[in-house]
A and B are shown apart, each in its own frame.
Chain A
Amino acid sequence: MRDSWKMHPVTQLFLARFREFIRQPEAVFWSYVFPLVMMIALGLAFRSEPLEAISIAVQEGPGAETLISLLKKEPSFVVSGGSAEECRRQLRAGQSELIVVVEPSVGQIAAGLPDYQYVFDPTRPGSVHARNMADDVLQRAAGRQDILNTSDQEVTEPGSRYIDFLVPGLIGMGLMGGGVWGVGFAIVDMRIRQLLKRFMGTPMKKPHFIIAMIFSRMVFMVPEIVIVLIVSRLLFGVKNHGSYATVALLIVLGAFEFAGIGLLIACRARTLEAVSGLMNLAMVPMWIGSGIFFSAKRFPEFVQPVVDLLPLTPLIAALRHVMQEGAGLLLILPELAIICIWGVVTFVVALKLFRWE
């Protein structure tokens, strides 16, 4: 009986975990729906439509009326007038990107042209853009001639939009959350219920238990990722430009990596509070630093080595290489190596430190 694979302890432990999981409909629902909701919300919020209307506030004063009618000729501008105070408030609140003030003229009085002052926030890309657009419009209206001949070619290809960048990030985030929470809570719960201690009273081999925990997590996470991939394709046309086999390999290795990290986090914790704290402590740096929502390369140079070694960074980077750029297996070998090292090291260390009672 023992010889058949069905009665192997790993199979049985896996089946037990699997049954426990699918018999908790709420847990299944949330673990599968949450990443989807996240993707849809962010996908809609950052959808790549032509730039939205640019809001400009014109400060009341002599010449303001003429300025407003001048700016209104540009269809992408939404222009409003107001007191100095009102204008400032709008800028602060993000309701307008730019304030234009008509200054008492000092320059070409003879030409009858007024002077303008732009009030804007140079750290806000929208603000800078508005300033340049408004400046162009006003300069041209005053008679500026463009000397160079230029032409625009617009590229909005799938693969280069924000949503194409976001989906691999969300897949990575889903793998991290699923692995860390799924394994961490399950283990601490079993410890609280003294089930781990009960298992220790049997001849069960510890590595069998740990392998089954990790493997069952990997299996739960695959449908989650597949759903995200399908919905992102149907809803936003997100395509995988690389091979599906490579993406699948990355997902499996990522699931293994984070199940291992979940195990390590939970290997000594005795209460759910303790393990939640540790899990957040482990995940916050990766939420921020590993490039889920924006490229990790934006961080200053000196933190790059740290950021690059976080478990999530190479996973997301590799997923993006494959999905957005169609990179093959060879190109992502360094990332794969870091992922595997994390997986194996956490597994071994967790097995050593694990508290069974």
Chain B
Amino acid sequence: MTHAIECRQLTKVWPGNPPVEAVRGIDLVIEQGLCFGVLGPNGAGKTTTIEICEGLLTATSGEALVLGKSWNVQASEIREQIGISLQESRLSEKLSVLETLTLFRSFYRNGLDPKEVIARVSLQEKMHASIKSLSGGQRQRVSVATALVGNPRLLFLDEPTTGLDPQSRRELWRIITDFREGGGTVLLTTHYMDEAERLCDRVAIFDRGRILAEDSPRKLIADLGVEHVVEFSVAYTKDHHDREQPAETFGSGLPGVISARMESGHRCLSVREPHVAIPALLGLISEQQLQLTSLTTRQASLEDVFVHYAGRSLNDSGQEGVSA
């Protein structure tokens, strides 16, 4: 079976002063029938990469094959088989949902009935409402519907859930899962690690135009060798308030602790066995006459995978190269 997507040494340099190397040599193979997630901070090159795959940008070097076809020779065949939702595209406000989908349907040789697609994204009640009158989540669903109406084999969704409330996000997850269960392939980008963990069979973690790691979310997390993360904060008791704050690596070297770091103002310990590490941590805290002000433990997540590979948290700006 041909791959849904195959990129070889893809690069993209935006001309400018200085030129921006948005994509710096990406190799990516996506099997058909998967939901593939591209994760990464702002400016990582996610949109640039996906738009090269969509045939909307041309790569500076390298090539992207889609469903085994090349954009140089079979562009219109590829377009018949893919559906896309752009990160920043605004549909005509004055048209109704049905009119918009009928318009997009007319571009495809074989597509679905617009009404059926409206039902798939649960917008039957809004069928005749203008795009202008829709909420952000509903608009996003219309955008995905325009991608579905051509009955694609491969769906590209660039940040489909950014800025949506939890319920709208779940609604979109359902649409994506339905599509995948019908045999389609999905390539989506997201900033939400939890979304990627729930939705994607495989993820690639992007940073500064490169892929840091690529595998199934479970495997990536397991490979860290870390099962839990303990987040805590400490303060000095009143009599010692003039003392300096403990080092960022406070807690490293304790039994069961793999590493310690600060992450967006929180102290984090990667631990293998919380029942060993937490008593040891509490012991250290009282020994140093500190007060524990908060303590939470959670399962390791893709967020930790990113921190592990990028050496900084996902929320820290990607541009300055903050390293822990």
Binding site for B on A (CB under 8 A): 2, 7-9, 11-13, 15-16, 19-20, 23-24, 193-195, 197-204, 357
Given contacts A197-B56, A201-B56, contact A19 B105 (CB under 8 A): no
B84 part of interface (Cβ distance < 8 Å): yes
Given contacts A9-B106, A194-B88, A198-B84, contact A203 B95 (CB under 8 A): no
User: Chain B residues with Cβ under 8 A from A202's Cβ?
Assistant: 79, 104, 107-108, 150
Q: Are B79 and A2 in contact (CB under 8 A)?
A: no
> What mask results when residues 8 to 38 of chain B are scored 1 for a CB within 8 Å of chain A, else 0?
0000000000000000000000000000000
Given contacts A194-B89, A195-B91, contact A12 B80 (CB under 8 A): no
Task: Using CB atoms, name the residue of chain B closest to A16.
Answer: B103
Quick one: which of B54, B56, B107, B150 has the most chain A CB within 10 A? B107
Given contacts A12-B103, A197-B56, contact A2 B86 (CB under 8 A): no
Tell me which of A9, A20, A194 contacts B107 (CB under 8 A): A9
Q: Are A203 and B106 in contact (CB under 8 A)?
A: no
Q: What would be 21 A-B contacts, judged by CB atoms less than 8 Å apart?
A: A9-B106, A15-B99, A16-B92, A16-B95, A16-B103, A19-B94, A19-B95, A19-B99, A23-B94, A23-B130, A194-B90, A195-B89, A197-B86, A201-B82, A202-B104, A202-B107, A202-B108, A203-B80, A203-B108, A203-B109, A357-B57
* Distance between Cα atoms of A200 and B86 in the complex (Å): 11
Nearest-Cβ distance from residue A100 to partner chain B, whole angstroms: 66
Q: Are A201 and B106 in contact (CB under 8 A)?
A: no
Q: Are A201 and B94 in contact (CB under 8 A)?
A: no
Nearest-Cβ distance from residue B3 to partner chain A, whole angstroms: 20
User: Chain B residues with Cβ under 8 A from A195's Cβ?
Assistant: 89-92
B288 part of interface (Cβ distance < 8 Å): no
Number of interchain pairs (Cβ within 8 Å): 74
Nearest-Cβ distance from residue A48 to partner chain B, whole angstroms: 45
Given contacts A13-B103, A19-B99, contact A201 B86 (CB under 8 A): yes
Q: Are B95 and A204 in contact (CB under 8 A)?
A: no
Nearest-Cβ distance from residue A179 to partner chain B, whole angstroms: 21
Nearest-Cβ distance from residue B214 to partner chain A, whole angstroms: 25
B294 part of interface (Cβ distance < 8 Å): no
Q: Are A201 and B103 in contact (CB under 8 A)?
A: no
Quick one: which of A12, A199, A201 has the most chain B CB within 10 A? A201
User: Chain B residues with Cβ under 8 A from A16's Cβ?
Assistant: 92, 95, 99-100, 103
* Distance between Cα atoms of A16 and B82 in the complex (Å): 23
Task: Using CB atoms, name the residue of chain A closest to B93.
Answer: A20
Task: Using CB atoms, name the residue of chain A closest to B132.
Answer: A23
Task: Using CB atoms, name the residue of chain A closest to B96.
Answer: A19
* Distance between Cα atoms of A20 and B86 in the complex (Å): 22
* Distance between Cα atoms of A116 and B107 in the complex (Å): 83
Q: Are B109 and A2 in contact (CB under 8 A)?
A: yes
User: Chain A residues with Cβ under 8 A from B84's Cβ?
Assistant: 198, 201
- B73-91 CB contacts (< 8 Å) to partner A: 76, 79-80, 82, 84, 86, 88-91
* Distance between Cα atoms of A7 and B102 in the complex (Å): 8
Q: Are A20 and B79 in contact (CB under 8 A)?
A: no
Quick one: which of B55, B92, B100, B150 has the most chain A CB within 10 A? B92
A-B pairs with the 10 shortest C-beta distances?
Answer: A12-B106, A194-B89, A203-B79, A202-B107, A193-B90, A201-B84, A204-B107, A23-B94, A198-B89, A20-B94
* Distance between Cα atoms of A199 and B147 in the complex (Å): 11
User: Chain A residues with Cβ under 8 A from B79's Cβ?
Assistant: 201-203
Task: Using CB atoms, name the residue of chain A closest to B90.
Answer: A193
Task: Using CB atoms, name the residue of chain A closest to B80.
Answer: A203
Nearest-Cβ distance from residue A58 to partner chain B, whole angstroms: 66
- B105-144 CB contacts (< 8 Å) to partner A: 105-109, 130
* Distance between Cα atoms of A9 and B79 in the complex (Å): 15
Q: Are B103 and A193 in contact (CB under 8 A)?
A: no
User: Chain B residues with Cβ under 8 A from A357's Cβ?
Assistant: 56-57
* Distance between Cα atoms of A204 and B109 in the complex (Å): 10
User: Chain A residues with Cβ under 8 A from B80's Cβ?
Assistant: 203
